[in-house]
């Protein structure tokens, strides 16, 4: 594998047919390649999530990350856009699903696509990955420490993140969950509740919780980075995608 | 962690200075979450915003929690001093 790729900013049609900005990274070959929709974290459509997107292209996948804040803040700096979105109450769940659906359609329409697509996200993007995987027909999903899946965010807060546990029965694809044992949102109890519900629903899933790791252990630029958890996590994601996106 | 903890306050008669100079700030969002710049996993973050002027009309701070508490006390002390001198609280 050469890791050669092309990465660029494009426009895709998202929820309601809206045209939104997106970052597309894809191998230079003719394919066929599986696709990965990367959902950026709450701090926004930023450099670090673009790096993640390119990482999957280097591994041989068509990776596409829609800018979930494009409507509120077209052309804004990622941190300004994130602040605006937060002040407005965050990304509505139905809009998120529409944007991921548009991204999946865009990937599958590419001549190099093999017709398969996964979704992956960290933090709020982990919760949104679970939402997408229980709302859309996907081939695989990776939830990296998504909070508020089991309990939701407190209803009095302006940022609306309702619980999604009752959607477990709609999970359309295999789910890989990667968590830190020292995380509090989601804490180990929440992860256990979600695993119990997925088991009860007969779903195909595998969860891994890393000792000594808290939230955001994949973030190389933050003190929360845990090299052993991150390296093992990427290894598991690679194996997972090889199994379900080939 | 990923708390989504956020408080929003509407502001009146207030201004802030951002990258393009002074502008009226209409609201403040206060939250505990990942910082963009501060060297910590989580900070108390405040965004002073003017939604009428767009996302770039923003004054942002990321505060270590003990510092945030000190700042809050200092703000209250200043407001109390203002009130004792005859200004409305």
Domain boundaries, chain B: 6-64
Classify residue A72 by burial, with Cβ atoms within 10 Å: 0-12, 13-18, 19+. Answer: buried
Q: At residue B87, does pLDDT exceed 80?
A: no
* B32-84 pLDDT per residue, tens: 988 889 988 889 999 999 999 999 999 999 999 999 999 999 999 999 998 88
| Res. A147: pLDDT tops 80 | yes
**Amino acid A102: pLDDT:** 98
A139 among known catalytic residues: no
Q: Looking at the 3D structure of chain A, how many domains does it have?
A: 1
CATH number at residue A56: 3.40.50.1820
A70 is annotated as an active-site residue: no
In chain A, residues with a C-beta closer than 8 Å to the C-beta of B5 are 154, 157
Which among A70, A93, A99, A123 is annotated as catalytic? Answer: A123
Q: Tell me whether strands A62-66 and A19-27 are parallel, antiparallel or unpaired.
A: antiparallel
H helix intervals, chain A = 47-58, 78-87, 93-109, 124-133, 188-200, 227-244
Task: Tell me the C-alpha distance between A166 and A18, whole Å.
Answer: 29
CA A174 to chain centre: 14
Q: Residue A138 is encoded by which pair of tokens? A: 């996907």
Q: How many CB atoms lie within 10 A of CB A245?
A: 21
Cα–Cα distance between A37 and A203 in angstroms, integer?
21
Task: Respond yes or no on whether ipTM tops 0.90.
Answer: no
From A89, which residue of chain B is nearest by alpha-carbon distance?
Answer: B6
Range(s) of the domain holding residue A138: 5-244
**Chain B interface with A: residues with Cβ < 8 Å:** 1-8, 27, 29, 31, 33-34, 36, 39-41, 47, 49, 51, 54-56, 58, 60
Q: Is A106 a catalytic residue?
A: no
Predicted model pTM: 0.93
- For the stretch A42-58, pLDDT in tens is 989 999 999 999 999 99
pLDDT tens-place string over residues A173-200: 999 999 999 999 899 999 999 999 999 9
C-beta atoms of B29 and A83 within 8 A: yes
Contact check, Cβ <8 Å, A87/B8: yes
């Amino acid at each position: 594998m050469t890791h050669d790729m092309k990465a660029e900013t494009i426009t895709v049609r998202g929820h309601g047919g809206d045209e939104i900005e997106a970052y597309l990274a894809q191998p230079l070959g003719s394919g066929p390649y599986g696709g990965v929709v990367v959902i950026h974290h709450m701090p926004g459509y930023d450099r670090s999530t673009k790096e993640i997107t390119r990482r999957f292209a280097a591994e041989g996948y068509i990776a596409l990350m829609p800018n979930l804040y494009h409507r509120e803040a077209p052309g804004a700096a990622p941190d300004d856009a994130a602040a605006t979105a937060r002040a407005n109450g965050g990304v509505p769940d139905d809009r998120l699903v529409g944007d991921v659906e548009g991204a999946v359609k865009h990937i599958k329409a590419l001549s190099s696509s093999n017709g398969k697509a996964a979704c992956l996200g960290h933090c709020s993007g982990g919760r949104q990955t679970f939402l997408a995987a229980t709302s859309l027909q996907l081939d695989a999903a990776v939830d990296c420490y998504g909070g508020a899946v089991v309990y939701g965010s407190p209803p009095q807060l302006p940022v609306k993140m309702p619980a999604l546990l009752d959607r477990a029965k709609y999970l359309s694809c295999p789910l890989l969950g990667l968590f830190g044992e020292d995380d509090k949102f989601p804490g180990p109890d929440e992860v256990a509740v979600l695993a119990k519900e997925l088991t009860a629903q007969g779903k195909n899933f595998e969860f891994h919780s890393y000792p000594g790791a808290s939230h955001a252990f994949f973030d190389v630029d933050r003190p929360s980075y845990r090299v052993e958890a991150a390296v093992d996590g990427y290894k598991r994601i690679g194996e997972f995608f090889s199994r379900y996106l080939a | 962690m990923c708390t989504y903890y956020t408080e929003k306050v509407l502001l009146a008669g207030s201004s802030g200075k951002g990258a393009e100079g002074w502008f009226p700030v209409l609201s403040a969002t206060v939250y505990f979450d990942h910082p963009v710049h501060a060297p910590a996993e989580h900070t108390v973050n405040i965004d002073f915003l003017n939604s009428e002027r767009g996302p770039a009309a923003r004054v942002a701070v990321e505060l270590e929690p003990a510092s945030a508490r000190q700042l809050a006390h200092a703000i209250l002390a200043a407001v109390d001093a203002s009130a004792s001198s005859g200004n409305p609280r």
